[in-house]
Structure formats: C-alpha cells, structure tokens
C-alpha cells in the first residue's frame, strides 16, 4: 500500500452493549447540573491548567459521557482544582465538583 503520510486510526466507535456508565451516573447524582452542559467551551477557555499544559476540561466532559474511564484517569489529575471554570460556566455547573466526583469514581471503580 502506498504511503500517504498518514495512517488509519483505531475506530472510536462506542459499543453501548459494553458501555460502563457507572461513573457518569455517580457524577450526575452528585452534580445534577452537569446534565445541562452544552459543551460551549467556556470552562476550557478560562482553565488555569489548560493555559499552561495540554489539558482540555470540555474534553473531560465528553470522555465522561462516552464512558472512557481509562483516558479520564490519565488526564484528570492535570486539573489544579482552582475553580475558575465554575465561575464562568453559563449553566452554573460546579465543574470543580464534577472533577472531584470523577476522581472519587475512578478510585471506586478501579480494578472492578
Ligand atoms: S462552561 Fe459549562 S456549559 Fe460550557 S462546556 Fe463548560 S461545563 Fe459545559
Ligand atoms: S478547576 Fe481545574 S478544570 Fe477548572 S479552571 Fe481550574 S484547573 Fe481548569
């Protein structure tokens, strides 16, 4: 096969028969306002960590909804827990609390 300077990536299709929604459920119980997130990116634009390193808090929300717990576990500790994101959210979502709930859930469901 000719080399075109790119390679085919692994499929990112979500298999909902295998989907693990436990972490998302825990977050929505602890912070129901997260259900109203419209992925506007306001949190990402103001994020202290995101301004310094490769970290995207909006992406964390998407990973959570997709049940990508392993990727979340790798990234979530980059958050500095400063709380700036919660101050700018137009939906008044306490994202800092969402992050704390994600961290708690990762520990709870690890190795289960
Ligand atoms: S600012 Fe609020 S509504 Fe916008 S992406 Fe972040 S959490 Fe969602
Ligand atoms: S609490 Fe975390 S995600 Fe929110 S602005 Fe601060 S570093 Fe970014």
| Closest ligand (CA of 46) | 2
**What is the pLDDT of the chain when averaged over all its residues?**
90
| Residue 105's pLDDT band (cuts 50, 70, 90) | very high
Q: Which token pair is 77?
A: 């500790």
Averaged pLDDT, 100-111: 91
Percentage of the chain beyond pLDDT 70 is 94
Indicate which atom in ligand 1 lies nearest the CA of residue 39: 5
User: For residues 48 and 79, what is the distance between their CA atoms, to the nearest angstrom?
Assistant: 8
| Residue 2's pLDDT band (cuts 50, 70, 90) | low
From the list 57, 58, 60, 69, the residue with the least C-alpha distance to 14 is 69
Whether the Cβ atoms of residue 82 and residue 72 lie closer than 8 Å to each other: no
The 10s digit of each residue's pLDDT in 11-38 is 777 777 878 899 999 999 999 999 999 9
First vs last Cα of the chain: how many Å apart?
A: 42
User: For residues 95 and 31, what is the distance between their CA atoms, to the nearest angstrom?
Assistant: 9
Is the pLDDT at 82 greater than 90, yes or no? yes
Structure confidence at residue 24 (pLDDT): 95
User: For residues 99 and 106, what is the distance between their CA atoms, to the nearest angstrom?
Assistant: 11
- Ligand 2: residue of 61, 80, 93 to mutate (most ligand atoms within 8 A of CB) is 80
């Amino acid at each position: 096969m000719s080399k075109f300077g790119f390679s085919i990536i692994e499929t990112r299709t979500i298999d909902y028969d295998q989907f693990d929604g436990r972490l998302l459920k825990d977050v929505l119980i602890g912070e129901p306002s997260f259900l109203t997130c419209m992925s506007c990116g306001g949190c990402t634009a103001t994020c202290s960590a995101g301004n310094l390193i490769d970290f995207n808090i909006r992406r964390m929300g998407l990973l959570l909804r997709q049940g990508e717990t392993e990727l979340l576990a790798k990234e979530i500790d980059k958050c500095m827990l400063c709380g700036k994101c919660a101050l700018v959210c137009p939906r008044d979502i306490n994202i800092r609390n969402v992050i704390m709930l994600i961290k708690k859930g990762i520990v709870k469901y690890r190795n289960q």
